[in-house]
């Protein structure tokens, strides 16, 4: 039988060796799949890296994907530390995109650009925050499991978007196709590099958000209370921490950042509201937050790496005509091995003849 024994302290060499071995193992598992697909794994990995970092353009595309991941994962680091498992970043992202786009599509055309964009970002943030406050209230008042509530709200948000795109928000000139009008120049968040790069000022939103969340967690009373709450809710109550308030504020910050990611990406990159607005970043960001050990600054780096894997994945389809699914295989193999590695770092695993009573 396998026996797991919690370690008091993880040896330094394990902390370094295990992640390296995990990644290598993940790459190896990915290679085996590629060999079955009759492609050279070394060339594929080379193409992924080149496709993600190989030129100024590809690197800026990697950062375009990283921006929403950074924003969302920063918020998730905060709520996950309180053991509020918000799986609903996707829905919050969509609601942010919808709320912010309302102003872009139906707002007064004469509004000055800085004001319009600021209001759009604020509305998007509020939209995402409200969408996260719903499950927080359900949890605070009726102890409804937030995993289920946030997950199901993702579907509701998706279908609200569908409803609008097939209904009143559909552009008349789209001939029945589910598209909004294109955003006017005034409603497009500025890009910071010359074309064809799409990198936009949302990058600064992300970096600032990650910094602020880090400060909240490390340096504020609120962050401390949240951590206590995450460790032991009963102790937090005895200590006089207002559990309701803490959960709701944290959920609002997390949802707000996801909403901001949604409207920033829609306004700067897509410049149109449609059914497909990359809302799956809401799931990828969960992985980023966990792999970063719930540290928002580390999550910035992890977000860039996950974005690189995705951006490089597009490139291997173009350069090598490898199915995009291969990228999913590599990504999951690496993640799976990293998560398995976590067990080895935290537990001593040994073989025993039988279970000890």
The SS3 of residue 350 is strand
Separation of alpha carbons 117 and 120, rounded Å = 5
Closest approach of Cβ 150 to another protein, in Å?
23
Name the segment binding another protein (CB under 8 A); options: 37-45, 82-90, 111-119, 233-241: 37-45
If we measure between CA atoms, which residue out of 329, 291, 281 comes closest to residue 44?
329
Segment 71 to 110, residues that bind another protein, using CB under 8 A:
105-106
Closest approach of Cβ 340 to another protein, in Å?
14
**Other beta carbons within 10 Å of 227:** 14
Closest approach of Cβ 70 to another protein, in Å?
14
Out of 111, 171, 222, 336, the only residue in the binding site for another protein (CB under 8 A) is 171
If we measure between CA atoms, which residue out of 219, 262, 224 comes closest to residue 129?
262
Please identify, using beta-carbon distances, which residue of 49 and 329 lies nearer to another protein: 49
Separation of alpha carbons 192 and 189, rounded Å = 10
Segment 289 to 318, residues that bind another protein, using CB under 8 A:
291-295, 298, 301-302, 305, 308, 311, 314-315, 317-318
Please identify, using beta-carbon distances, which residue of 158 and 274 lies nearer to another protein: 274
175 binds another protein (CB under 8 A): yes
If we measure between CA atoms, which residue out of 88, 80, 125 comes closest to residue 292?
80
Residue 41 contacts residue 34 (beta carbons within 8 Å): yes
Name the segment binding another protein (CB under 8 A); options: 21-29, 123-131, 200-208, 254-262: 21-29
Beta pairing partners, 182? 272
- DSSP code for 187: G
Segment 132 to 151, residues that bind another protein, using CB under 8 A:
none
Please identify, using beta-carbon distances, which residue of 105 and 123 lies nearer to another protein: 105
Q: Taking each helix axis from N to C terminus, what angle separates 202-219 and 221-231, rounded to the nearest 10 degrees?
A: 70
Name the segment binding another protein (CB under 8 A); options: 45-53, 68-76, 117-125, 244-252: 45-53
167 binds another protein (CB under 8 A): yes
Per the document, the length of the chain is 357
Residue 70 contacts residue 353 (beta carbons within 8 Å): no
**Other beta carbons within 10 Å of 207:** 16
274 binds another protein (CB under 8 A): yes
Separation of alpha carbons 264 and 121, rounded Å = 7
Residue 309 contacts residue 52 (beta carbons within 8 Å): yes
If we measure between CA atoms, which residue out of 263, 236, 281 comes closest to residue 90?
281
Please identify, using beta-carbon distances, which residue of 249 and 261 lies nearer to another protein: 261
Out of 7, 20, 349, 350, the only residue in the binding site for another protein (CB under 8 A) is 20
Name the segment binding another protein (CB under 8 A); options: 68-76, 123-131, 269-277, 348-356: 269-277
181 binds another protein (CB under 8 A): yes
Name the segment binding another protein (CB under 8 A); options: 66-74, 128-136, 191-199, 242-250: 191-199
19 binds another protein (CB under 8 A): yes
Closest approach of Cβ 41 to another protein, in Å?
9
Residue 71 contacts residue 299 (beta carbons within 8 Å): no
319 binds another protein (CB under 8 A): yes
321 binds another protein (CB under 8 A): yes
């Amino acid at each position: 039988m396998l026996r797991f024994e919690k370690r008091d302290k993880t040896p330094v060499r394990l902390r370094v060796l295990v992640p390296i071995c995990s990644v290598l193992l993940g790459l190896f598992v990915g290679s085996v799949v590629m060999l079955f697909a009759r492609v050279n794994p070394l060339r594929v990995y080379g193409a992924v890296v080149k496709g993600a970092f190989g030129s100024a353009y590809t690197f800026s595309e990697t950062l375009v994907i990283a921006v929403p991941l950074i924003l969302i994962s920063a918020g998730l680091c905060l709520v996950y530390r309180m053991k509020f498992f918000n799986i609903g970043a996707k829905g919050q992202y969509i609601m942010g995109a919808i709320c912010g786009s309302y102003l872009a599509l139906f707002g007064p055309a004469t509004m000055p650009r800085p004001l319009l964009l600021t209001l759009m970002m604020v509305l998007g943030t509020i939209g995402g925050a409200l969408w996260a406050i719903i499950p927080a209230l359900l949890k605070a008042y009726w102890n409804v499991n937030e995993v289920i509530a946030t997950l199901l709200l993702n579907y509701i948000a998706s279908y609200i978007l569908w409803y609008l795109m097939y209904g009143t928000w559909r552009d008349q000139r789209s001939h029945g196709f589910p598209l909004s009008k294109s955003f006017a120049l005034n409603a497009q968040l500025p890009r910071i590099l010359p074309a064809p790069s799409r990198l936009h000022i949302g990058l600064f939103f992300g970096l600032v958000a990650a910094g602020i969340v880090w400060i909240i967690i490390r340096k504020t009373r609120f962050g401390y209370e949240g951590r206590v709450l995450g460790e032991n809710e009963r102790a937090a109550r005895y200590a006089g921490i207002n559990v309701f308030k803490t959960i709701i504020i944290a959920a609002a910050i997390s949802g707000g950042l996801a909403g901001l990611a949604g409207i920033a990406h829609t306004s700067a990159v897509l410049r149109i509201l449609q059914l497909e607005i990359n809302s799956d970043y809401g799931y990828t960001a969960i992985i980023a937050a966990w792999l970063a050990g719930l540290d928002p600054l580390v999550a910035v780096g992890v977000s860039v790496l996950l974005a690189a894997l995705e951006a490089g994945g597009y490139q291997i389809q173009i350069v090598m005509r490898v199915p995009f699914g291969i990228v999913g295989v590599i990504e999951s193999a690496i993640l799976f091995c990293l998560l398995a590695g976590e067990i080895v770092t935290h537990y001593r695993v040994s073989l025993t003849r039988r279970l000890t009573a």
